[in-house]
Amino acid sequence: MPERTRKQKVGLAEAGVGTAMATGVPAGFRAEHAVRGRVSTAFTNRAKSQEAKIGDLKANRPKPRVVSNGKLSHFASAESAADKAKRATKIRTLQGKADKSYRIARNAKKMKVFNNQTNAWAVGAGVGVPMAWHGIRNQFEKRAPTRRRDADAAVGGAVAGGFGYQGLSLAAKPFEKPAERKIKNDPNLKAKWKTHRDAYLPKNAQAGHPGWRQYNINYPKDLPGWKLKRGMAHAATGRSGTALTVGMAAAGGAAGYAASRRNVKKNASAFGIEH
């Protein structure tokens, strides 16, 4: 096997980096979101635990006792001033810790690089795909134009396969409309839907917000259209969605390459030369 030229070696590295970016940036976004979600939940639980301790301190405060001088009776504190001050200090300390835990939980949810998955896919694909295509194309010399066309067809097929598969989620939107109308026209269903939405999404959540995946995966089974919601969430998002998208991209690339080869053979048989 002939040794690769410097251009081919650089191109091979470029193709590897580009492919890693196209798939790795969205995967990195999901990993960061998952970690941040766990951190946020942990600090939220810690804050609630601290608030529970505050509640216990307030609930277990000694009850005032009745003091009588023979003629008049009144309530007197059963707690010394020192104990009262000590309890108030504990409550303030715990409240400060709870407030700090809530702040950390809120900040943990804020993505530092991309604020939604759509942007991650756009950057990963927008930078990674051209880089991979350029690297693959440079595996072939300019004097072998048919091989370069094969590379173009393979990359084009891979892009079409991957993005075409992801487009399924958009293509499925019209099928969700009947269920959405049914929910909108039924007050009970609408109330259930709103409770579910508020549990996973902030107000006015934009497309690509990470909360949409959990919103769809956990869509209530007593709401119309739940099978489509959950099915599309598994098919087009998360690890399963990434694996299927990569698989469709690979299949598209193979189909593009095969079509290019057939075209070359057809031209060769028609003209007696390879164009």
Residue 154 has pLDDT above 90, yes or no: no
Residue 32 has pLDDT above 70, yes or no: yes
What SS3 state is found at 2?
A: coil
Mean pLDDT for the stretch of residues 207-213: 72
Residue 94 has pLDDT above 90, yes or no: yes
CB count in 10 Å sphere of residue 171: 10
Residue 96 has pLDDT above 90, yes or no: yes
- Mean pLDDT, the chain, rounded, equals 78
Per the DSSP assignment, residues forming a β-bridge with 65 are 76
CB count in 10 Å sphere of residue 28: 15
Q: Could you tell me which of 252, 231, 119 has the C-alpha nearest to residue 168?
A: 231
Question: Higher-confidence residue: 13 or 206?
Answer: 13
pLDDT score, position 14: 78
Could you report the per-residue pLDDT of 101-120, keeping only the tens digit for each?
A: 999 988 887 776 666 666 77
CB count in 10 Å sphere of residue 261: 14
pLDDT score, position 270: 54
pLDDT score, position 68: 65
pLDDT score, position 275: 46
Domain boundaries, the chain: 140-275
Residue 211 has pLDDT above 80, yes or no: no
How far CA 66 is from CA of 56, 72, 183, in Å, comes to 24, 10, 59
Rounded CA gap, 33 and 41, in Å?
A: 12
Tell me what percent of the residues of the chain surpass a pLDDT of 70: 78
Q: Up-side HSE of residue 224: CA atoms within 13 Å toward CB?
A: 15
Residue 64 has pLDDT above 70, yes or no: no
How far CA 242 is from CA of 28, 237, 246, in Å, comes to 12, 6, 6
pTM (predicted TM-score) = 0.51
Confidence of residue 13 (pLDDT cuts 50, 70, 90): confident
